[in-house]
Amino acid sequence: MNNTHQKLPNFTQAITQLIAQPSISSSQASWDQSNESVITLLATWFETLGFTITIQAVPMVKGKFNLLAKLGSGDGGLLLAGHSDTVPFDENRWLSDPLKVTDNDNKLFGLGSCDMKGFFAFILQVCQQIDLKLLKKPLYILATADEETTMAGARFFANSGVIKPDVAIIGEPTNLVPVIMHKGHMSHKISIKGQAGHSSKPASGVNAIEIMYQVISELFKLREKLNLSYKNEAFDVQTPTMNLGAIRGGDNANRICGHCELDIDMRSLPGMKDEELVSWLSIALQPIAEKYPGRLTINELDPSSPSFQQAPDSDFVSTAEKLSGHSCCAVNYATEAPFIQQLGCQTIVLGPGSIDQAHQPNEYLAHSEISKTEILLTKLIHHYCL
């Protein structure tokens, strides 16, 4: 190991430094933070290793940046991608400081340890152990912004089309199992504008809760129709899903409710288009909208994230299965994979840690993941770049 590498942190030091840089993404402005300090840290490390660094501000979101590190020349190669942000946390539910790595019970506890700052610490460690001068194809490292909310970073990068690797790996926590399919995700707010009034004179007002009751009835019918019409046995939840997540309305028992809101999310199967789901939602609620003109509106809460599918018979999938020792699978949650796939590369989701720890208090990465992840990443870089 040369002197240049000695300036760089080892795995535990790297994950500790990354977690110490807060980079929360949230739709609530009071929680939302810039990811610039994480991006700057990654840039410093990979520049030391000889990578060419490009940092871009992500449009439409304040203080958010993507980083692309490139080493090697020519076409194709391997892209290792992940997001630099984390979800918010409830400090009262953590047994340790979320922004400090706590090593206990053969686990490294910390916010983002598996979802997914740890992935970048692994990449750094592996790159220090490989003779990068021998690269025959380029190695790319992408750190995106705002994955936990809008996926703005991945959307922006996909549209820029600056690279076209042969293959890409999104390092979300999958227990190192190659994920080749996942559902899409969209969320909407349904609003009912009623007419407030005194409860003793029901006819003098329009009760928004009563209209919302009719809306919910139609949503249940739509959900049942989707469950009967669409199924994919690769998923443990084999049908599309619709969740009624939050409802708000009214202010007092003796007042006619003047306004009611319902937040829902829908998760589509591969092959279903987002615009189809939105159309079905609109059609289902059209009779109520016509019955109460001007009182029902449907608005998108966050930009939708499409479903993802990589052909199971592709060379990349068979290679990932062989090198990881795991058969490919499908998952119910959404990732940046469909956006990275737009670069024109074969794409899978594969990373250390369990999704069961993601977004949870006392998030951790088990010690048992460390050597397995380093070995697998080394094999993948050798296979696609050396």
Provide the annotated active-site residues.
85, 147
Report how far apart, in Å, the C-alpha atoms of 352 and of each of 168, 220, 300, 357, 377 are: 16, 37, 33, 11, 10
Instruction: Pick the closest to residue 80 from 342, 314, 357, 349 (CA basis).
Output: 349
For residues 263 and 280, give the distance between their C-alpha atoms in angstroms, rounded to a whole number.
17
CB 150 within 8 A of CB 83: no
Instruction: Pick the closest to residue 334 from 154, 197, 208, 193 (CA basis).
Output: 154
